[in-house]
A and B are shown apart, each in its own frame.
Chain A
Amino acid sequence: MKINKFYVVMLLLALVAPFFLYPVFLAKLLCFALFACAFNLMLGYVGLLSFGHAAFLGTGGYITGWLMMNSGITPELAILLGTVVSGALGALYGKLSVKREGIYFAMVTLALSQLVFFIYLQAPFTGGEDGMQGVPRGHLLGLIDLSDNMNMYYFVLAIFLFGFWLIHRTIHSPFGQVLKAIRENEPRATSLGYNVNDYKWVAFTISAALAGLAGSTKTLVFQLASLTDVHWHMSGEVVLMTLVGGVGTIFGPVVGAGVIVTMQNYLSGGELGNYIHIIMGFIFVVCVLAFRSGIVGEFQKVWKRNFG
């Protein structure tokens, strides 16, 4: 009950936010929040750290961007196709990687995403280093003009809510319960007759597809797709967002993405621009050493201690 009230308040805030804050910034924040949530599905609920999620973010972005520029289809279809292709790539990579665990899994996903990076760097359709620029935002369903920032924001909000809802549903479904069981005690799950690798694989595919959804949407917001989104630094950033917000909490990645994106936004404009990597690195180290539950996790602990 309490939780439901909380969601309603958050939703109201999200609806009125663009009247006070810059809508493109808010849309960016939502895209990264969705990306982090998708990533957290793997790390938080399956217990596998993927260090290659940038590959899916970038793939979604490139596919959607290419479709918008060359095919003349409407934006929602382009986003859908971007998501599907990312999901397919995720299914393929999942097959290769879910057999490995822990650190092995992280390294394999990292190396696989690097393969994707180099392909996009050299493939002619991506525009290589320059990226894909001037992607039109188009008209939603052929009707609503997305070049208006407010329209774009509400479209992104709708996509985010859909993604967030889907993750929420997944976690609370019987499928999600099995995932949790695998995270807590894999041999036990195996002995109960679950095909553990299949469960992991499906979760990885969903996570990749949602990351692709975030990337597709981001391309429309910024009207460009670039190598930044496929670079392994991006895979690192999403880990940082999730870690700062709280691994394995449904709302943590959203908070984490908010904190990191706002911080980057603030730093890039100021005198501290030179220090951005140092500060990000420092936050990483501090979070790991002293703050492993993240903002939401710590908050929940305090809440439980005092009111629970």
Chain B
Amino acid sequence: MKMMKKTLLAASVAAIASSAAMANVSDGKVKIGVLADMGGVYADICGQGCVTATQMAVEDFGGEVLGMPIEVVSADDQLKPDVGSAIVRKWVENEQVDAVGGLVSSAVVGAATKVLTDAKKIALISTAASNAFTTKACSPYNVHWTYNVAALANGTVKPMVEAGKKKWFFITADYAFGHALEGVASKVINDNGGEVVGVARAPLSTTDFSSYILQAQSSGADVVALANAGNDTVNALKAAAEFGLTDMMDVAGLLVFTPNAQAMDANVAGGMRTTTGFYWDYDDKTREWSERFMARHGSIPAMGHAGAYSMTMHYLKAIEAAGTDDSDAVIKKMKEMKPDDFFSRNATLRADGRMVHDMYYVEIKKPDERRDSNDIMRVVSVIPGDQAYAPMLPECNFK
């Protein structure tokens, strides 16, 4: 009987304590939405995998924060900005979602972050490439984690120019993302004493790259840079190998996600260098997490997956430290605390929302270097974050 009373007492104390916390957590729970591409071209890069990674972070955190449950909801943006922004609108206006993660294609993210900023909710951007979210479209509620075009260009281009590869030819995807990537990379080349000898603009989803490869061949360049992504990169690389371009000059892929690298013919892609925000097989810490992810998801993590996990973890820690899920307080805490885990090395979250961390300059392994199908890259060097990312713009300093 006495025992019973004690338990009851303890329970009611706990209840009071948690209702005190509840006062600070709106609607009694923390809800994270994951907006990703479930069935389109980026599905392997940040689709269901981003949902899994976010869920893993929530579970590893203990499933609750400040005594309140954490809930993860997810949706498919179908790569359409209107669909994505409508979902986010519904989440924040009708379903009390506190923060939205995933966030893949730059077009969808641009639309989604506008809705989130209007609603004063946090955008946890894991996979979008554009650097606009912390520059011309910056917002106090944007957090951009894994990488951006500037880091890719600096990471891949700089070491090659410094190694004496001065003349560059670009095969660029002819839309905003490709232009941005080409622009940043050209600047890095020029700043380091190199020159751009030619550019071929290939429309999005080009299947046949042979004519661009011919242009590259006759340009006399040292390096051909592929300023495109996904299947475009795969197809361009295939054509480069077929037409003997890879024997004449170096090929640099400016954005290569691990699932894409895995899908490429190792004979063709082997030896190509690129920059990534994460590689699963880098050290024991990355392997430990990646193996857990693999056990749940079935394939090795891309950088966006690891970024989604790391970012969710940091967000939850910030809620705990702030003692509330109020966006302004949480984002302030996120920027005060240093992210530090298997993904975020030597990292800071700047006032503009850019997470600056070590990037990896990697080489895709040749067939005879591979242990198994998951062994696809070798880390050549680690690029310190402040060398990879561009400095903060004064107008985006949301201190």
CB distance from B51 to the nearest CB of A (A): 10
Measured CA separation A24–B89 after assembly (Å): 9
CB distance from B107 to the nearest CB of A (A): 4
B residues 160-201 in Cβ contact with A at 8 Å: 174-177
CB-based contact A226/B75 at 8 Å:
no
CB-based contact A222/B75 at 8 Å:
no
CB-based contact A224/B81 at 8 Å:
yes
CB-based contact B82/A222 at 8 Å:
yes
Is A133 an interface residue, CB under 8 A from the partner?
Answer: yes
Is B90 an interface residue, CB under 8 A from the partner?
Answer: yes
Q: Which residue of B lies closest to A128 (CB)?
A: B175
CB-based contact B107/A268 at 8 Å:
no
Give the number of chain A interface residues (Cβ < 8 Å). 32
CB distance from B134 to the nearest CB of A (A): 16
Which residues of chain A are near B114, meaning CB under 8 Å? 133-134, 223
Is A173 an interface residue, CB under 8 A from the partner?
Answer: no
Q: Which residue of B lies closest to A270 (CB)?
A: B75
CB-based contact B86/A25 at 8 Å:
yes
CB-based contact B176/A268 at 8 Å:
no
CB-based contact B94/A133 at 8 Å:
no
Question: Of A226, A273, A274, which is within 8 A of B107 by CB?
Answer: A226
CB distance from B252 to the nearest CB of A (A): 22
Is B80 an interface residue, CB under 8 A from the partner?
Answer: yes
Q: Which residue of A lies closest to B91 (CB)?
A: A269
Q: Which residue of B lies closest to A231 (CB)?
A: B80
Which residues of chain A are near B110, meaning CB under 8 Å? 130-131, 133
CB-based contact B87/A224 at 8 Å:
no
Measured CA separation A9–B139 after assembly (Å): 45
CB distance from B337 to the nearest CB of A (A): 31
Measured CA separation A265–B80 after assembly (Å): 13
Mask: chain B, 30-49; 1 = CB below 8 Å from A; 0 = not: 00000000110001000010
Range, interface on chain B: 20 to 34
Which residues of chain B are near A53, meaning CB under 8 Å? none
Which residues of chain A are near B76, meaning CB under 8 Å? 267-269, 273-274, 276
| Contact of A131 with B81 at beta-carbon distance under 8 Å, contacts A22-B94, A25-B90, A273-B38 already known | yes
Mask: chain A, 262-287; 1 = CB below 8 Å from B; 0 = not: 00110111000111110000000000
| Contact of A228 with B176 at beta-carbon distance under 8 Å, contacts A24-B89, A25-B90, A131-B111 already known | no
Measured CA separation A84–B47 after assembly (Å): 40
Is B275 an interface residue, CB under 8 A from the partner?
Answer: no
Which residues of chain A are near B89, meaning CB under 8 Å? 24
Mask: chain A, 119-153; 1 = CB below 8 Å from B; 0 = not: 00110000111110110000000000000010000
Is B85 an interface residue, CB under 8 A from the partner?
Answer: yes
Measured CA separation A274–B114 after assembly (Å): 26
Question: Of B74, B90, B176, which is within 8 A of A129 by CB?
Answer: B176
Measured CA separation A276–B89 after assembly (Å): 21
Is B73 an interface residue, CB under 8 A from the partner?
Answer: yes
CB-based contact A274/B48 at 8 Å:
yes
Measured CA separation A118–B205 after assembly (Å): 12
Is B69 an interface residue, CB under 8 A from the partner?
Answer: no
Is A28 an interface residue, CB under 8 A from the partner?
Answer: yes
CB-based contact A122/B174 at 8 Å:
yes
Mask: chain A, 194-217; 1 = CB below 8 Å from B; 0 = not: 000000000000000000000000
| Contact of A129 with B203 at beta-carbon distance under 8 Å, contacts A273-B76, A276-B39 already known | no
Measured CA separation A211–B206 after assembly (Å): 30
CB-based contact B203/A121 at 8 Å:
yes
B residues 2-53 in Cβ contact with A at 8 Å: 38-39, 43, 48
Q: Which residue of A lies closest to B105 (CB)?
A: A129
Q: Which residue of A lies closest to B177 (CB)?
A: A129
CB-based contact A228/B174 at 8 Å:
no
Which residues of chain A are near B43, meaning CB under 8 Å? 274
Q: Which residue of A lies closest to B201 (CB)?
A: A122
Which residues of chain A are near B87, meaning CB under 8 Å? 268-269
A residues 103-128 in Cβ contact with B at 8 Å: 118, 121-122, 127-128
Could you say which of A127, A273, A274 has the most chain B C-beta atoms within 10 Å of its C-beta? A273
CB-based contact B90/A24 at 8 Å:
yes
Is B119 an interface residue, CB under 8 A from the partner?
Answer: no
CB-based contact B86/A222 at 8 Å:
yes
Could you say which of A122, A149, A222, A268 has the most chain B C-beta atoms within 10 Å of its C-beta? A268
Which residues of chain B are near A28, meaning CB under 8 Å? 86
Which residues of chain A are near B73, meaning CB under 8 Å? 269
CB distance from A18 to the nearest CB of B (A): 12
Is B78 an interface residue, CB under 8 A from the partner?
Answer: yes
Measured CA separation A25–B94 after assembly (Å): 11
| Contact of A129 with B107 at beta-carbon distance under 8 Å, contacts A273-B39, A274-B48, A276-B78 already known | yes
CB distance from B128 to the nearest CB of A (A): 11
A residues 92-112 in Cβ contact with B at 8 Å: none
Measured CA separation A114–B106 after assembly (Å): 23
CB distance from A153 to the nearest CB of B (A): 13
CB distance from B100 to the nearest CB of A (A): 13
The 10 closest A-B pairs by CB, nearest first: A273-B76, A129-B175, A273-B38, A228-B80, A128-B175, A130-B107, A226-B81, A269-B75, A268-B76, A130-B176
Tell me the B residues contacting A by CB distance below 8 Å.
Answer: 38-39, 43, 48, 73-78, 80-83, 85-87, 89-90, 93-94, 106-107, 110-111, 114, 130, 174-177, 203-204
Tell me the A residues contacting B by CB distance below 8 Å.
Answer: 22, 24-25, 28, 118, 121-122, 127-131, 133-134, 149, 218, 222-224, 226, 228-229, 264-265, 267-269, 273-277
9 A-B contacts, Cβ less than 8 Å apart?
A28-B86, A121-B203, A129-B204, A130-B107, A130-B110, A222-B82, A268-B78, A276-B78, A277-B39
